[in-house]
A and B are shown apart, each in its own frame.
Chain A
């Protein structure tokens, strides 16, 4: 029998309905793959028993012709989404033992759509990182290797476990969250599709908060169609999130194949700095050529405030994080380290519970919000953020979509020690501007480096225009004919 983990979500959906195999067989195949690939450290918590139980329920519904949109599809859930009765860690020691009594809206929607949760996926601690190396549960290993080398590579981050699991066929799809590139950059590093929808499309309720004005959930899959199928389910208004958009999500699966004929695509000149990696630049040119061949017009555009996006982000995101993470005080859940006073208990608990990157960001955030510095840093950053968002508004008056590289390099080695935090932050130079502007963005696997490592192209559109986003993504996918991870299953 064909290895069931080879199918896409769309293919499996059709086979399940035709009863070519059962949901339980499909889930079992993925559980086997998950157990065989524990060395990737993609999962923090495996929920095989729960998965089998849900797969059996799916088979029952399929039998009764009551199949839901994702019926019987095995998915991984990033361990930032609260899952009822299943430990939720956010990759941090401070949430030790935390088992939510409730389900996040997004994971609930996926459950209601019939999908089967295989487990909770590893991530950078509180989603703060671009390498998955800040996780309290150890780094994830990228399933890809450079040709002729055995060195372990970083999967990117923060949704590194999600990207690795989908790339290695341990799950058919996974949820990710993206605050400054945490879906798109790991998708690029692991050669898969990642979509961050418009801010407000996916409810943030029940998702452990990092930076509330930036956090947005999205799908990570092996094909554009699969991402559309998942996103259709994950989005929608939720009264429990005050920033959830009260507008209907268009059916993005329905627009696939409509092409880009007559569209205008912008290439921002600021995304081609001196010293841009030659292979990344070449792939970007190739992507533009594909879109031209499909009937789009490609023009150069200007996003003048691009260089200020990263420093702006590193004020806004830590400021929001320092406030959001104030809740981890050892009182209501998670770790507690004893102290002689309440303050001492807080300080000892937080010292023991947070890792170095999280502490660094809390301290930066506390500093930029503190008396005397708020206007100089936080307010200033909010104003520059407005200019960055304005750049995109002006660009989208001229073009339908923007094409850029997703990340400045392919996956780096886990042993390439990055000692300077700022050097690590530069991984997100191409993804952060869209996060600040709240616009949708995706990464499409589009080519391989000379060493055989995946590179991604990023597509951006204006707010609420996921339809154009998916049309462009589909053309890029069709043109790139990206091979996916070839190797053991």
Chain B
């Protein structure tokens, strides 16, 4: 398993992390090393095995679908890097 530069660039884009071109080569090498090591899982026969999807065998409990909290916009916005009134501000999205 070998990742190429284009793949790493694509993953970085999916993850929304800017990677300068100069960092791509070492990153390709490290990620390829990790993925090669992970390849050994292919040896394990998992044909009749159900995936374990959580940390426990408990089933999630039901609860009433009701509002239990809210209506505190100042608190919600108190850590915002940029805000206007009761809104988070971001760069212009729609032209």
Q: Which residues of A contact B (CB under 8 A)?
A: 97-99, 101, 198-200, 212-214, 216, 239, 242-243, 245-246, 305, 307-308, 311-312, 314-315, 322, 326, 329-336, 338-348, 350-351, 354, 359-360, 362-364, 366-367, 370, 377, 379-387, 389, 420-422, 436, 438, 463
If A330-B81, A334-B79, A383-B46 touch, whether A350 touches B15 (CB-CB below 8 Å) is: yes
B interface majority secondary structure: loop
Report B95 CB to chain A, min CB distance, Å.
11
In chain B, what residue has the closest Cβ to A239? B63
CB of A335 within 8 A of CB of B49, answer no
- Among A305, A379, A381, max chain B CB count under 10 A is at A381
CA distance A239 to B60 in the complex (A): 11
CA distance A343 to B18 in the complex (A): 10
If A199-B56, A363-B12 touch, whether A336 touches B81 (CB-CB below 8 Å) is: yes
If A245-B56, A385-B52 touch, whether A421 touches B34 (CB-CB below 8 Å) is: yes
Which 9 A/B pairs are nearest by Cβ-Cβ distance? A382-B51, A199-B55, A333-B79, A383-B46, A336-B81, A386-B52, A351-B18, A347-B18, A346-B16
CA distance A393 to B63 in the complex (A): 30
If A239-B63, A242-B60, A383-B50 touch, whether A311 touches B38 (CB-CB below 8 Å) is: yes
Q: What are 12 A-B contacts defined by CB distance under 8 Å? A: A200-B55, A336-B81, A342-B90, A351-B17, A362-B17, A366-B11, A367-B11, A367-B31, A370-B14, A420-B33, A436-B52, A463-B57
* Contact bitstring B31-60, A, C-beta under 8 A = 1, else 0: 101110110111010100111111111101
CB of B49 within 8 A of CB of A386, answer yes
Number of B interface residues at 8 Å Cβ cutoff, please give it.
Answer: 49
Chain B residues, Cβ within 8 Å of A97? 79
B75's partner among A101, A242, A340, A342 (CB-CB below 8 A) is A101
B49's partner among A334, A341, A383, A463 (CB-CB below 8 A) is A383
- Among A322, A344, A438, max chain B CB count under 10 A is at A438
Report B43 CB to chain A, min CB distance, Å.
8
B79's partner among A332, A344, A359 (CB-CB below 8 A) is A332
B81's partner among A331, A339, A348, A370 (CB-CB below 8 A) is A331
CB of A438 within 8 A of CB of B40, answer no
Chain B residues, Cβ within 8 Å of A383? 44, 46, 49-52
Chain B residues, Cβ within 8 Å of A335? 81
If A351-B18, A367-B31 touch, whether A340 touches B91 (CB-CB below 8 Å) is: yes
Chain A residues, Cβ within 8 Å of B38? 311, 314-315, 377
Report A54 CB to chain B, min CB distance, Å.
23
* Contact bitstring B2-33, A, C-beta under 8 A = 1, else 0: 01000110011111111100000001001101
B61's partner among A246, A322, A382 (CB-CB below 8 A) is A246
A332's partner among B12, B35, B88 (CB-CB below 8 A) is B88
In chain B, what residue has the closest Cβ to A331? B88
If A101-B78, A311-B41 touch, whether A366 touches B18 (CB-CB below 8 Å) is: no
Chain A residues, Cβ within 8 Å of B42? 380
- Among B58, B60, B63, max chain A CB count under 10 A is at B58
Chain A residues, Cβ within 8 Å of B40? 307-308, 311
Chain A residues, Cβ within 8 Å of B54? 213, 243
CB of A363 within 8 A of CB of B15, answer yes
B53's partner among A308, A326, A344, A382 (CB-CB below 8 A) is A382
A99's partner among B14, B79, B81 (CB-CB below 8 A) is B79
CA distance A463 to B56 in the complex (A): 9
A336's partner among B13, B33, B56, B82 (CB-CB below 8 A) is B82
Extra contacts, 4 of them, besides A331-B90, A347-B18, A384-B49 (Cβ < 8 A), are: A98-B79, A198-B56, A343-B16, A366-B15
Report A220 CB to chain B, min CB distance, Å.
20
If A362-B15, A363-B11 touch, whether A242 touches B61 (CB-CB below 8 Å) is: yes
Chain B residues, Cβ within 8 Å of A380? 41-42, 44, 46
In chain A, what residue has the closest Cβ to B16? A346
If A314-B34, A380-B46 touch, whether A363 touches B8 (CB-CB below 8 Å) is: yes
Chain B residues, Cβ within 8 Å of A199? 55-56
- Among B19, B33, B55, max chain A CB count under 10 A is at B55
CB of A348 within 8 A of CB of B18, answer yes
CB of A342 within 8 A of CB of B93, answer yes
In chain B, what residue has the closest Cβ to A329? B16
CB of A350 within 8 A of CB of B16, answer yes
CA distance A305 to B34 in the complex (A): 19
Chain A residues, Cβ within 8 Å of B8? 363
CA distance A379 to B55 in the complex (A): 15
